[in-house]
Chain A
Amino acid sequence: MKNIITKGITKVYNPDTIPVVALDGIDLQINEGEFTAIVGPSGSGKTTLLNIIGGLDKPTHGSVTISGTDITKMHDNKLIEFRKNHIGFVFQAYNLIPVLTAEENIEFVMLLQNRPEAEREQRTTELLNAVGLGDKRKNRPSQLSGGQQQRVAVARALAPKPDFILADEPTANLDSKSTENLLDIMSRLNHEEGVTFVFSTHDQRVIDRAHRVITLVDGKIATDEEQKPVK
């Protein structure tokens, strides 16, 4: 069973000087196929939680287990390897590699995985079509709009066939139309292909589409509710 289980996650910044508690004992389970939004005001700990779940940051206390593997105890190289194969990231600022084209950006992680060329090409084409950018495959990020770049970022996150996609404020820099477009794509991937998405977001449009909404306040889970998506 693919899932994310966090137990008593606490994150304290500057523990030796002026301690700032970003997360305070988070217990959480996210299962395969979920479309979950982590919401809350600025400074509530959404991004910190996502970073810890994704193995980009270490908790001060507690553990994160992904599909049975405790990633908080992993050494750096193993963790990088784990991220590469099990977790896809979508960042607020897209963060594509500027010198690579759309298709090369998508192919990049598969190259890191040493996948055969034919498989890489086939999957890149599939993903580009899935995010509606089949005609932009040779464009570099600077030749794409913000929305298009974020769609490439989603395709890149999906490329290594990860267990989960973690998206940190993926629509924060997008206009309404691009946001709707991106959410449609992600909903479809979740619905049709069972891809698991976990977002941190402020955006009501993203919250409306989620099946589950976890609200953080001051580093603690204030509410954790399932809902019927608006669309």
Chain B
Amino acid sequence: MTTIFKLAWRNIWRNKRRTYITLASIFFAVLLSAFMVAFQKGAWDRMIDNVVGYYYGYAQVHEKGYWSEQSIDKAFAIPSELETVQKEMPDIRIVPRIESFALASHENNTTGVMVVGTDPVAEDSMTRLSTRLTSGRYFVPGEEAALIAEGIAKNMKLGVGDTLVLISQGYHGVNAAGKYPIIGILNFPSPDLNKRMVYLPLKVAQYFYGAENLVTTVALNLENKDVVPPTIRALKKELPSGEFEVMDWKQLMPDLMKAREADTAGAYLMLFVLYVIISFGIYGTILMMTKEREFEFGVLVSIGMKRLKLGISIWVEIILLGILGSILGILGAIPLVYYFHVNPVDFSNMGEGSMDVFAKWGFDPIFPTAFEPAVFTAQALVVFIITAVLAFYPLLKITRLKPVEAMRA
């Protein structure tokens, strides 16, 4: 075996130009595919974090059936079991909300809005709502006031200090009406949210809807996506079965998931095309090497080297090149991916039309690459496997080699 490795290693450096060409093929293959995947994954991770972060949270608890029929009548008192789970998993922070639609009015203008009653402190820790203020200020404890989205303010000609009148149907059909001073204007990247969001402190909204101590949603503020499955498992175990639904971010945003799947499928297709191009590049160099050394193979078989042993020696040679090229590819990709992770591609300066696509989903058009070990290792592994499979070509060629003809070549 040592002889095989020795032969293989020395043969690698026998024709340096050929080796550099092969290494370059593998290097660029790993570099390009890793960058492509890192960019695609990073963009989607950021999109999801954006969407999850600006409103939904990684998971939510509702009364059973609320999500399909979002009615104030499905409001519920926060169950004590939720506190039990919180005690067991102290990293979980909850954001209680009461949400429903209302008619907003100011002077002669009216519009439909979504009124969200929320705990100002919990809400801000999850969605950083206060950072969306373009004018005015955030809630202070105990006040009865409203924060409205920029679109509503513009359409209804409202400003900080004006009064907003809200009318709606409250819990179990009670009349809901109230007037609230506007203390701040919020900006959302999504035009849809900009046209309809009105925030009230939780207690104020519960009073408005006639649903004291009730909420329609408990959003869960979690550290990251990884803790979602165990949290959901714990909640499902603790909460009374049949009374509540626990949904993760994938269930809450099926459209976004479908869009991601479609985009990922497209990216895989692109990646496949890249792999095919890469394969031809690597195959070309292997073909060249096999042809160049046909004579040598003939000699080795003539003097008594078994075809399988010779084939393995050549395979090992290409495998060593594959390992070396993949390592170099990873080393090359790390600074590139890291640079774009720290300095994301910013599409803010693109035309208005392009911005609409991003705004529709409500995220900033900034795309950092995903700087995760799996991105590099997976791509290096794929390219290495391609190389290892292509390396069977000389082995096949050697099994069919006729020494006399090979030495005549």
Contact with A along B387-409 (1 / 0, CB 8 A): 00000000000000011100100
User: Does B80 sit within 8 A of A, measured CB to CB?
Assistant: no
Kindly state the separation between the CA atoms of A91 and B404 in the bound complex, as whole angstroms.
Answer: 12
Q: Does any Cβ of A come within 8 Å of B233's Cβ? A: no
Which of A50-92 touch B at CB < 8 Å? 51, 54, 56-57, 76-77, 80-81, 83-85, 89, 91
Smallest CB separation, B248 vs chain A (Å): 58
Interface residue B360 (Cβ < 8 Å from any Cβ of A): no
Q: Report yes or no: A91 in contact with B407, Cβ–Cβ below 8 A.
A: yes
Name the B residues within 8 Å of A51 (CB-CB): 404
What are the residues of chain B within 8 A of A89 when measuring CB–CB?
A: 302-303
Q: Do residues B303 and A156 form an inter-chain contact, with CB atoms below 8 A?
A: yes
A80 touches B14 (CB 8 A): no
A residues less than 8 Å from B288 (CB atoms): none
A28 interface hit (Cβ, 8 Å): no
Contact A80 B299 (CB under 8 A): no
**C-alpha spacing A49/B300, complex, angstroms:** 20
Asked if A99 and B3 sit within 8 Å, CB to CB, the answer is: no
B304/A83 in contact, CB under 8 A: yes
Which chain A residue shows the least CB distance to B12?
A99
0/1 interface trace, chain A 142-179, chain B, CB 8 Å (1 if under): 00000000000000110010000000000000000000
* Residues from chain B with Cβ under 8 Å of A57 in the complex: 402, 404
Q: Give the nearest-CB partner of A160 in chain B.
A: B304
Given A80-B306, A89-B303, are A98 and B404 also a contact pair (CB < 8 Å)? no
Smallest CB gap from B301: residue in A: A80
- Asked whether B404 lies within 8 Å of A84 as measured between CB atoms, the reply is no
Bits for A89-118, please: 1 = Cβ < 8 Å to B, else 0.
Answer: 101000101111000000011011100000
Known: A51-B404, A80-B307, A91-B407. A111 touches B3 (CB 8 A): yes
- A interface footprint on B285-323 (CB within 8 Å = 1, 0 otherwise): 000000000011001111111110100000000000000
Give 1 or 0 for each of B1-45: 1 = CB within 8 Å of chain A CB.
Answer: 001000100110010000000000000000000000000000000
Distance A17 CA – B302 CA, assembled complex (angstroms): 28
- Which residues on B sit within 8 Å (CB–CB) of A84? 303-305
- Contact (Cβ within 8 A) B304 A112: yes
CA distance A209 to B317 in the complex (A): 44
Tell whether, in the assembled complex, residue B304 and residue A81 are in contact, meaning their CB atoms are under 8 Å apart: yes
Q: Which residues of A contact B301 (CB under 8 A)?
A: 80
Contact of A56 among B3, B7, B305, B404 (CB under 8 A): B404
Contact residues in A for B14 (Cβ distance below 8 Å): 98-99
Which of chain A's residues has its CB closest to B403's CB?
Answer: A56
Pair B303/A99 contact, Cβ less than 8 Å:
no
How far is B407's CA from A99's CA once the two chains are assembled, in angstroms?
A: 18
Q: How far is the CA of A76 from the CA of B310 in the complex (A)?
A: 14
Bound: A98/B11 CA distance, A: 9
From A51, A97, A98, name the one whose CB has the most chain B CB atoms within 10 angstroms.
Answer: A97
Contact status A100-B7, CB under 8 Å:
yes
**Residues of the B chain whose Cβ atoms lie less than 8 Å from the Cβ of A80:** 301, 304-307
Q: Give the residues in chain B near A76, CB-CB below 8 Å.
A: 307
Contact status B304-A85, CB under 8 Å: yes
Contact B296 A97 (CB under 8 A): yes
Closest to A87 in B: B304
**B7 and A83 within 8 A (CB):** no
Q: How many angstroms between the C-alpha atoms of A95 and B293 in the bound complex?
A: 12
CA distance A85 to B304 in the complex (A): 8
Determine the distance from Cα of A160 to Cα of B300 in the docked complex, in whole angstroms.
14
Q: Give the chain B neighbours of A156 by CB distance below 8 A.
A: 303
Which residues of chain A are within 8 angstroms of B295 by Cβ–Cβ distance? 95
How far, in angstroms, from A28 to B266 measured CA to CA in the complex?
71
Residue in A closest to B406 when the chains form the complex, CB atoms: A56
The 27 sampled A-B contact pairs (Cβ below 8 Å) are A54-B302, A56-B302, A56-B403, A56-B404, A57-B404, A77-B306, A77-B307, A80-B301, A80-B304, A80-B305, A80-B306, A80-B307, A85-B304, A89-B303, A91-B299, A95-B295, A95-B296, A95-B299, A97-B7, A97-B296, A100-B10, A108-B3, A109-B304, A111-B3, A112-B306, A112-B309, A156-B303
Q: A54-B302, A83-B303 are in contact. List 11 more A-B contacts (CB 8 A).
A: A57-B404, A80-B306, A84-B303, A89-B303, A95-B299, A98-B14, A99-B14, A108-B3, A109-B303, A111-B3, A112-B309
Q: Please report A residues at the B interface, Cβ cutoff 8 Å.
A: 51, 54, 56-57, 76-77, 80-81, 83-85, 89, 91, 95, 97-100, 108-109, 111-113, 156-157, 160
Please give me the 9 A-B residue pairs with the lowest Cβ-Cβ distance, nearest first. Answer: A84-B304, A99-B10, A95-B299, A57-B404, A56-B403, A56-B404, A83-B304, A99-B14, A51-B404
Residues of B at the A interface (CB closer than 8 Å) are 3, 7, 10-11, 14, 295-296, 299-307, 309, 402-404, 407
